Structure 1
């Protein structure tokens, strides 16, 4: 049993930087950043109820963000996870609508919380940031935001629903809170990467044959479930030897799944993906 607390998860979420610091020129997305820290210790039981039985990382991130907004000194939460349904068909969901306390400005926010690895084989720089299992990518998500998620605000059905809640869509601005944890090839660990916030780079990735090297024999490991991916490895108390973790990693690779590994070498902690492709 892993001795990781809810506060460790929350802390990992809060410390995850935005993939872009300001408006991104490449995607033309307006970036939402929130520096407020909610009193997690005091209210951990309240948030624990909100995430109970929610194990999908993205959904847990939404609850952490919602709780952060609720304790913000700058914003009031007006809407969270509003499903837009027309003729019994779900058109989509608005993540959040907040109101700036000082100005009354309404902001529609879409929250994104992602883990990407950098694959140099792609020609276009932004196309190189992909999911560790190659099932999604930064560019795919940006395209979805621009063509589906953000335009949903201006759908006629959405306007009707929001008007019934006394929210006008005329002056709502739209922003994206795009938090990301990035992993680069091991040999490029100390490089700088264009078009993204390099503060998001927290680890590296290797192919499975590289993990078979004897160089890992002196380290300890743990492979967290996805729910705990944002957590600082130093918070973990249970570690396995290389011989103990290897069969587990081999099983993941055989299933074409790229596991995240925490590695402890003396007093140093590292994070990396072992990819199957």
Structure 2
């Protein structure tokens, strides 16, 4: 989504190209297996890629800002650009959104699959809370104690997202977002319960595995087997991500409860 960050008054941080060796990726894999929260996994991937780049250095990560025993917030990363010594505050975002055409405003249509968050809500939080946190006196005191001056620091956002649209809108072009982020579609439970999907094979990954390329998956369930799993999600008003293997390839979609 960073391609259109100017539409949100945010400056995009572009990840450097990968330069690490296979032995480094094996080490990362072993570390990631012990992390079960999606956000923390993404942070570790980001830090790993930065640490193995020729362009940037990680100075600080996950800096808790606490004043009078009250947590004001957290800064994701403070980086240094090696060639210029420029310090950069980066907020990292990784989200899954679905496109709900029922909203009038185009940007309002990108919401969480369980309708608990949205693109606009996250952007507002970044602009009103997360980025301004850098300039709180307590934050400046903490960073000054680590020899990092906030006066000339640059703020950027690394906003990554996987987007899912109604099945009938696959192939459409959407404004205000990077269309390369569209990874699949979503359907209602009633649509999934129809006989259209009975001959295929399925897997519903846990949330920490949502970003994984489904082509790497080796375990598959029949339609009847996955249906019982999905019913439990729907009963709890949770929208599961589903990978589906057909004779034409692999598709991924959310089954929504709403």
Common fold, TM-score beyond 0.5? Answer: yes
- Taking the aligned partners of 2:208 and 2:19, their CA distance within structure 1 comes to 20
1:246 maps to 2:246: no
Q: Secondary structure at the match of 1:81?
A: strand
1:260 maps to 2:236: no
1:207 maps to 2:191: no
Q: Is the 8 A contact 1:122 1:128 kept in 2?
A: yes
- Taking the aligned partners of 1:205 and 1:30, their CA distance within structure 2 comes to 30
Q: Is the 8 A contact 2:4 2:176 kept in 1?
A: no
Q: 2:6 aligns with which of 12, 20, 24?
A: 24
Deviations 1:62-88 (CA, angstroms, capped at 9, x unpaired): 011011110011101111111011111
- Taking the aligned partners of 1:44 and 1:20, their CA distance within structure 2 comes to 25
Cα offset, 1:251, TM superposition:
1.2
Q: Which runs of 5 or more residues in structure 2 are unaligned?
A: none
Cα offset, 1:132, TM superposition:
0.4
- Taking the aligned partners of 1:24 and 1:101, their CA distance within structure 2 comes to 25
Q: Secondary structure at the match of 2:103?
A: coil
Deviations 1:103-136 (CA, angstroms, capped at 9, x unpaired): 1111100000000000001111111000000111
Where relative contact order (Cα < 8 A, 6+ residues apart) is larger, the structure is 1
Cα offset, 1:42, TM superposition:
1.1
Cα offset, 1:23, TM superposition:
3.6
Q: Is the 8 A contact 1:38 1:67 kept in 2?
A: no
CA RMSD of aligned residues (A): 1.3
Q: Is the 8 A contact 1:220 1:265 kept in 2?
A: yes
What's the TM-score, normalizing by structure 2? 0.97
Q: Secondary structure at the match of 2:12?
A: coil
Say how many residue pairs are matched.
258
1:172 maps to 2:153: yes
What's the TM-score, normalizing by structure 1? 0.90
1:41 maps to 2:22: yes
- Taking the aligned partners of 2:86 and 2:231, their CA distance within structure 1 comes to 52
Cα offset, 1:22, TM superposition:
5.0
Q: 2:35 aligns with which of 29, 54, 57?
A: 54
Cα offset, 1:205, TM superposition:
0.2
Q: Is the 8 A contact 1:112 1:177 kept in 2?
A: yes
